[in-house]
Amino acid sequence: MVMTTLVAVFCGAIGLCVGSFVNVLIARVPQRESVIRPRSRCPKCGTQISDRDNIPILSWLLLRARCRSCGVRIPARYPLVEGATAVLFVAAAVRFGASWQLPAFCVFFAALLAISVIDLDHFIIPNRIVYPTLVLTIPMLAGAAAADGTWRRLEDALIGGAAGFGALLIIHLISPRGMGFGDVRLAGVIGVMVGWLGLWYLAVALFLAFLMASVIGVALIATRVKTRKDAVPFGPFMASGAVIAVLWGPVIVDAYSRSRG
């Protein structure tokens, strides 16, 4: 218990810093800019942001949401993304404890958040996030399999990746305008990560994604926020379904099997 609390606090702190980087990804990846250099600048006056003004959440509060030099408003999205990343990291720590899987799922969650916001903004799921996520997480999962002797899970991860990719590929081929190829690649990544926990979890994740997309899609049309012709990005729904399946999959599968007696 003490151990889990320590790991959760540590992951929360790391999550705040990674959240800052997620903001950088969201701002720069769609513009095809480097995510390493240069340092962040104010979009209005171009002043470089100093270290003391770059502390996650805290700087935004201390500066009262304004740039120190020109006073332009800094959107609340910045601290919200940092906070959300920290919450996801803490949730992963509580779910997995101090284990080899934990860093892999932290990377996965941070990538899902960046991809969701970019998809909402630009209707794209960038390869520059999808591929590095696989490059980072697959070796981590292989390490976890080696350390814990759970090679069976790595097999499920690879089958899951193929299943997620394949399922969405079929939908993409039937309706290329409704389901972009970025969604197909993302389903592959989700298939690997969620499949690692069990192929059941992947079924839950994809089912939730389609369920939420239809419920929210109908609600947006009913409230006239969108018309039938507007595109609604599917990435955020797949990402949410994956996070819910990873964190509460056992509860959901348990409730389902009990309801069937």
Smallest distance from Zn ion to CB 73, Å: 10
Query: In this complex, which beta carbon is closest to Zn ion, that of residue 72 or of residue 135?
Result: 72
Smallest distance from Zn ion to CB 48, Å: 10
Is residue 38 reached through a cis peptide bond, with omega within 30 degrees of 0 on the bond before it? Answer: yes
Residues 6+ apart with CB under 8 A from 67: 42, 44, 45, 47, 74
Query: In this complex, which beta carbon is closest to Zn ion, that of residue 67 or of residue 107?
Result: 67
Smallest distance from Zn ion to CB 76, Å: 17
Smallest distance from Zn ion to CB 100, Å: 43
Residue written as token pair 């899609």: 217
Distance of CA 124 to the CA centre of its chain: 14
Smallest distance from Zn ion to CB 15, Å: 27
Q: Where are the beta strands (DSSP E) in 51-202?
A: none
Tell me the C-alpha distance between 186 and 192, whole Å: 10
Tell me the C-alpha distance between 212 and 238, whole Å: 9
Query: In this complex, which beta carbon is closest to Zn ion, that of residue 71 or of residue 139?
Result: 71
Query: In this complex, which beta carbon is closest to Zn ion, that of residue 63 or of residue 221?
Result: 63
Residues 6+ apart with CB under 8 A from 22: 81, 82, 85, 110, 113, 114
Query: In this complex, which beta carbon is closest to Zn ion, that of residue 72 or of residue 255?
Result: 72
Query: In this complex, which beta carbon is closest to Zn ion, that of residue 39 or of residue 128?
Result: 39
Enumerate binding residues for Zn ion (CB under 5 A): 42, 44-45, 67, 69-70, 72
Query: What 3-state class would DSSP assign to 55?
Result: coil
Query: What 3-state class would DSSP assign to 7?
Result: helix
Nearest 5°: phi and psi at 175? -135, 80
Tell me the C-alpha distance between 104 and 139, whole Å: 9
- The DSSP symbol for 42 reads -
Smallest distance from Zn ion to CB 43, Å: 8
Query: In this complex, which beta carbon is closest to Zn ion, that of residue 70 or of residue 170?
Result: 70
- The DSSP symbol for 123 reads S
Smallest distance from Zn ion to CB 62, Å: 15
